[in-house]
Every structure is written in C-alpha cells, then in structure tokens.
Amino acid sequence: MNPTIAVIGAGGWGTALAVTMARVHASVRLWVFEPDLARTIREQRRNPVYLDGIEVPPGIRVGTELDEILDGADIVITAVPSHVFRGVWRRMRPHVRPSMKLVTATKGIETGSLMRMSEVIADVVGDAFTPSVAAISGPTFALEVARGKPTALVVASSDPDLRRDLQRQLSTPRFRLYTNADIVGVEIGASVKNVIAIAAGVVSGLELGHNATAALITRGLVEIMRMAEACGGRRDTLAGLAGLGDLVLTCTGQLSRNRQVGFALGQGKTRAEIISSMKMVAEGIITSESTHALARRLDVEMPIAEQIYAVLHEGKDLGRAIEELMEREPREE
C-alpha cells in the first residue's frame, strides 16, 4: 500500500522531508503555520523563508488547516520546533486516529516537563489511546536532504513492527533508514548534541584550534552517553548515526545553526543579538536550559553543557567558562 503522509511543519526540515517523501509517494501533505507562506508555497512551489532554492513538487498538498492535512493520513511526521511542539499537538489531537503511525522529527527536550518529544505526544493523546510513536534522527542537513544528497539516519521505536514498517515506507534510494529499538537514546542524542554544537562553535569563533574541537566533540559525546543512560537509554546507541554521526555533523558542518550560534558567541555577540539575526530556531539555545535542568534532576555530570547553559542563560563570561573546563580536577578517561 502506498501510504498518505502528512508532514506537520514547513520549516527547513519539514519541507525537506515532504520533498523527499514526494519522490516515492504520490500522496504527501505539508502543514504550514503561516498563511502567507502557505500561499507562497502553493503559488511558487518553493519555500523562500526556510528552504530557498528547492522546488516543492506540485504533488505535495499544502495547507494551514490541520483537520484537512491529517484527514486520511497513514503516517504523521511532526517537524516543528520543540518549544511549540506540545501546542501543535494539542491542536492535532482531535484529528489523530489510533491507526496512524506517528513520527517525531523534532530534536529537543521540552522546557519545564523535561519530556522527550515522543513522551509529549503520548502525554497529549494518552487519555484517548496509546499511540504508536517513532523518532527519526541522524546526521542530516535539510538542504542536502532536499537536494537528494545521500543520507543515512535512524528510525527508533520500542515497537519492532512500527520501526520496520516505517523503515520500509519512508526509505528512498538516497534516504536510508536504519532501525533502532532505543528511542530514548536516539532522542537524547538528537537533543543534547545541539548544546555541544554550540560549544564547538565557540571553539571555532575563538580560534582555539582543531585539537580543542576534537577534544570537545569527544568529551561531549561522553556527556550525551551519560545522559542517555540515566534516562534509560543505551550508551552504544550513541556510537551510531543518531549519536556520534549527528554530533560530528552538527559540530563541524557549516550549515549547522547551533554551531553558528556558538561561533557568534565566540566572536563577541550577545545571545539577544544572535537570536534577533536568525530566522530559524537554533534548538540548542532552548535545549541548553532543559538539558541543564534534566542533568540536575538526574545528577548527571555534564560540564560542557553546564558551561554553555551558564553562558547563554546566566551571562557568564566565555573566557571564564573555558578556564573552568580546562582547570577541572584531572581524572582517568
């Protein structure tokens, strides 16, 4: 059966996913929050705000009404920023059926509740039915995915049938999906790597060198592993695409918004200046706060994430933050 796929969110990643799915599926829909942008995409078949230069195939149905986009959908992929995720899902809830396969493509930890995105979905719809939820993650820049560049990522779910079905239904010749049972580890890796990427950008902005970047990525991976394990995930998951793969890409790639945030910090710009200059969300800014809170709750040692939180949310001096990292008590690796 050729499924009907609804992509919720027309940012760069959501648009890229819709474009990718349209290459192999005849029925793809894209929900757009902004009416003006929806009109532009319908008329011009491009998304000049979030993914300029990419043609949106005419077969993709574009709309702003969730009931119309979700009606008859078999697979629902949510790709909205984490800070609006719950609000969008509350609006979606009346139109979601138990038979739908629900996929989160959002990378983040909810501020306040400290829930992963799959947990937010279950929390919103759980009083009506127990949803089938999966997460997709991996080293992916939206622009490259939309251009059809070879990409490999993970579809994770505790339900083996769901993850295998989604692997088969969402894979394309240049969009390769591996399955993973550890949705906790995959979602934690997807979220916290954005915080480490800000730190990597700082290293680059301060011109601290390749040695420092390599050390930061390696020690950042250790912090992500600690967090994943404390949440019930597996450390070995973070050695794969949703962990190391995504971390390396986000820490080193020029298209990484989170790395750009760190680079700007290293160049002396303030958080307010950086945010005002960006039209797309850098999830690491938001996730640094929830990561800090979750680490405190679980008593997980995360010195890099802790310093990034202090710089972004407490106004800590960058130089002092780096000194404190380098002057920590020597220990065995």
Closest to 102 in 3D by CA, of 2, 243, 8, 233: 8
pLDDT at 279 over 80: no
Q: Is the pLDDT of residue 252 over 90?
A: yes
The pLDDT value given to residue 319: 87
224, 177: one domain: no
Same domain, 189 and 172: no
pLDDT value for 237: 97
> What average pLDDT does the structure give for the chain?
95
The token duo for 72 is 């008859």
Mean pLDDT across 90-107: 97
Question: How many whole angstroms separate alpha carbon 84 and alpha carbon 154?
Answer: 24
Q: Which two tokens stand for residue 44?
A: 């011009």
Given a cut of 80, is residue 225 above it in pLDDT?
Answer: yes
Q: Please give the share of the chain, as a percent, with pLDDT higher than 70.
A: 100
Residues 69 and 191 placed together within one structural domain of the fold = no
pLDDT at residue 218 tops 90: yes
From the candidates 101, 107, 149, 193, which is the catalytic residue? 193
Instruction: Please check the confidence at residue 1 and state whether its pLDDT lies above 80.
Output: no
Same domain? 44 vs 176: yes
Please say if 101 is a catalytic residue.
Answer: no
- Give the CA count within 13 Å in the CB-facing half-sphere of 120: 30
Q: At what angle do helices 257-266 and 283-298 cross, to 10 degrees?
A: 90
How would you classify the pairing of strands 28-31 and 46-47?
unpaired
Q: Are residues 73 and 92 in the same domain?
A: yes
- Encode pLDDT of 106-138 as tens digits: 999 999 999 999 999 999 999 999 998 999 999
Of 138, 161, 181, the residue at which a domain comes to its end is: 181
> Mean of the pLDDT values across residues 179-187?
98
Task: Please give the average per-residue pLDDT across 307-312, as a whole number.
Answer: 96
192 and 173 together in one domain:
no
- Is position 332 within any domain? no
Q: How far apart are CA 223 and CA 220, in angstroms?
A: 5
Do 177 and 203 share a domain, yes or no? no
**CATH code at 268?**
1.10.1040.10
DSSP three-state, residue 178: strand
Domain of 97, in residue numbers: 5-181
Which pLDDT value is given to residue 327?
82
The answer to which of 17-21, 241-245, 249-253, 324-328 has the lowest mean pLDDT is 324-328
Query: Is residue 333 pLDDT above 90, yes or no?
Result: no
Q: Are residues 155 and 222 in the same domain?
A: no
- Give the model's pLDDT for residue 255: 92
Query: Are 27 and 176 contained in the same domain?
Result: yes
Taking alpha carbons only, the member of 240, 248, 119, 247 closest to residue 178 is: 240
Based on the structure, what is the number of domains in the chain?
2
For the chain, what percent of residues have pLDDT higher than 90? 90
pLDDT at position 290: 97
Q: What is the pLDDT of residues 20-36, one digit of tens each?
A: 999 999 999 999 999 99
- Threshold 0.85, pTM exceeds: yes
